[in-house]
Amino acid sequence: MIWVSWRQHRSQAITGLGLLCALAVYAIVLGLQMRTSFSQHNLGTCLAQSLGRGCENSVVTFDNRFGSLVNIGFWSVLLLLPGLIGAVVGASVLGREMEMGTWRLAWSQTVPRTRWLVIQLAVVGGGLIVLGAAMTLVVTWYRAPMDQLTGHFVQNAYDYEGLVFTAYILFAFGLAVLFGQLMGRTIPAMLAALVPWVAVRLIVEFLFRPHFMAPLPYTDHCTGQCFGNAIVDVPPATGHLGDLLVRASGGIGSTYQPADRFWAFQSIEAGIFVALTLLALSATVWLVHRRAT
């Protein structure tokens, strides 16, 4: 069964490997340029000693050269990528079998249909986990110089540098497998999976993420002399790189999430999407088990 699963999905595996290689080449070229510029401007020492207070011009120069490309352009390209990867791969697991009618042959062999499906999901899902982890490592290495200026809580980094990137892929995969079973068509299943995938991501990001853990209060006493910069993400109210302000209105009652909660937040959010993935896949296995031959 493992060999059969590989034969059925090897073209997708090769495509994923090609996508990873293309991402790695781009990341290496631009990442080395950022590291060279970062070193030439001695930003590492300046940030360690004064959080950028003594090298504002160097920070601005670095931002003008790389800020939009790394923080906006790269993020825009990768915004839907995990959903597309998961949907394309997941829709073909059952959608293609239903569409081409090969499920009649596959489910009439000595291997029970439930076992057939579970092995398919394990092999393909495992491959997606490896791909997601590899892409996360590439992006994390690539963004390392920029992260020293922004921290990891900014949206451009948070979505791609921890556990959630792989969890996003798995969630889209689970939805696409389910819709492939329900709709019996590959392309419609892909499109149908992307809609709830985007909706759930937006709900979690804007409604739940800032409150995964109880935010800490602060009182903003900044009178205009606090250091601030367009790229060095040091909220004047907290003075710590990468802190996430939940309510940045200032004054008594404002709250923030400390930067050192990054991995805790990653674990919570990834757990949510993995649980939803398991729910979708469990529903699919149950439907296949109940389906009349």
81/254 Cα distance (integer angstroms): 35
Q: Is residue 129 part of a domain?
A: yes
What is the distance between the alpha carbons of residues 77 and 74, in angstroms, rounded to a whole number?
A: 5
pLDDT for 229 beyond 60: no
Q: Which of 34, 112, 257, 41 is nearest to 248 (CA)?
A: 257
Average pLDDT over residues 256-261: 89
pLDDT, average across residues 116-127: 90
The DSSP secondary structure of 127-193, one letter per residue, reads HHHHHHHHHHHHHHHHHHHHHHHH-S-SHHHHTTSSSHHHHHHHHHHHHHHHHHHHH--HHHHHHHH
Q: How many residues does the chain have?
A: 293
278 lies in a domain?
A: yes
Domain annotation covers residue 169: yes
Amino acid 225: pLDDT? 41
What's the rounded Cα separation, in Å, for the pair 50 and 42? 12
- Reported pTM: 0.89
Q: Note down the domain range covering 277.
A: 2-33+80-212+260-290
Tokens linked to 16: 């994923």
Residue 39 is assigned to a structural domain of this protein: no
> What span, in angstroms and rounded, lies between the C-alpha atoms of 214 and 222?
24
Q: Give the range with max mean pLDDT: 48-62, 193-207, 278-292.
A: 193-207
DSSP 214: P
46 CB neighbour count, 10 Å cutoff: 17
d(CA 41, CA 229) in angstroms, rounded, equals: 17
Q: Tell me whether residue 255 is in a domain.
A: no
User: Which region among 105-119, 132-146, 165-179 has the lowest average model confidence (pLDDT)?
Assistant: 105-119
203 has pLDDT over 80: yes
Give the residue-averaged pLDDT of 96-107.
65
Q: How many domains does the chain have?
A: 1
The residue ranking higher by pLDDT, 229 or 233, is 233
What's the CA gap between 162 and 220, in Å, rounded? 30
C-alpha dist (Å) from residue 246 to 37, 51, 159, 201, 215: 33, 22, 18, 18, 7
Distance from C-alpha of 40 to C-alpha of 286, rounded to nearest angstrom: 59
Say if 60 falls within a structural domain.
no
- pLDDT tens per residue, range 69-94: 887 877 777 889 999 999 999 998 88
pLDDT of 19 > 80? The answer is: yes
Question: Comparing 150 with 202, which gets the higher pLDDT?
Answer: 202
Residue 251: burial class (beta carbons within 10 Å; 0-12, 13-18, 19+): exposed
- Residue 276, in any domain of the structure: yes
